[in-house]
Structure 1
Amino acid sequence: MSVISITFHTVESENHKWDLFVENDLPQLVDNLFEVEKYILSEVDSEMIMEGKNTNLLLVFQDEEKREDFRQIELKNITEIVEKKFGENVMVFTTLLNPLKINL
């Protein structure tokens, strides 16, 4: 199993537009990803966020090869779609998670 975490930070002025994107467009993009076995799309609730909001997409892959394929192709496509629609108002951060122990 291989995992990647993608966090989208949205400036406060774009919250409504982002919420519509998360509700309507982002799930369709993720559902069409062949490499992804499972995913969790979450709104991040944190005291560390002073303005705007964070949304997290946790993607689970069968192995590191499928995760790397996703990073090379699909992640770039998703990032381009977000940048085209929101410009610099939504920042995309990725984190590779390498499980040490799994109990799902």
Structure 2
Amino acid sequence: MSVLSITFHTTESISKEWDLYLESDLHQMVENLIDAEKYILSEVESEMIAEGKNTNLLLIFADEEKRQDFVEIEFTNITERILNKFGENVMIFKTYLNPKKSRF
């Protein structure tokens, strides 16, 4: 099992547009991912966020090779689409999670 966390930080000025994009385009892109076995798309609640909001996409892959394939191809495509639509109003952070122990 291999896990990737992608966080999208959006400014308040695009919150309505981001919510619509999240519900339609982004959700559909995630549903169509072949390499990801499972996913969780979440709004992030945090006391540390004073401005804007964060959305997180947690992707679970069968192995590191599938995760790396995703990062090299699909992550690049998703990032380009979002940046073309929203520009600097969305920052995207990817985090590789390497489970030591798990129970699903």
- Please give the range of the TM-score, normalised by the shorter of the 2 chains: over 0.9
Shift of 1:21: 0.4
Mapping of residues 23-38 of structure 1, within 5 Å: 23-38=23-38
CA–CA distance in 2 between the matches of 1:29 and 1:23?
Answer: 10
Structure 2 regions of 5+ residues with no counterpart? Answer: none
SS of equivalent residue, structure 2 residue 47: coil
Structure 1 regions of 5+ residues with no counterpart? Answer: none
CA–CA distance in 2 between the matches of 1:34 and 1:56?
Answer: 19
Structure 1 stretches of at least 4 aligned residues deviating more than 3 Å after TM superposition:
none
Structure-2 residue corresponding to 1:5 = 5
Deviations 1:2-54 (A, max 9, x none): 00000000001010000000111111001111100000000000000000000
* Amino acid aligned to 2:64: E
CA–CA distance in 2 between the matches of 1:65 and 1:102?
Answer: 19
Is 1:51 aligned with 2:51?
Answer: yes
Shift of 1:97: 0.1
Shift of 1:55: 0.1
Structure-1 residue corresponding to 2:80 = 80
What is the number of residues matched between the two proteins?
104
Structure-2 residue corresponding to 1:71 = 71
Shift of 1:61: 0.2
TM-score by length of 1: 0.99
TM-score by length of 2: 0.99
Identity of aligned residues (%): 66
* Amino acid aligned to 2:37: E
CA–CA distance in 2 between the matches of 1:27 and 1:21?
Answer: 8
* Amino acid aligned to 1:62: A
Structure-2 residue corresponding to 1:89 = 89
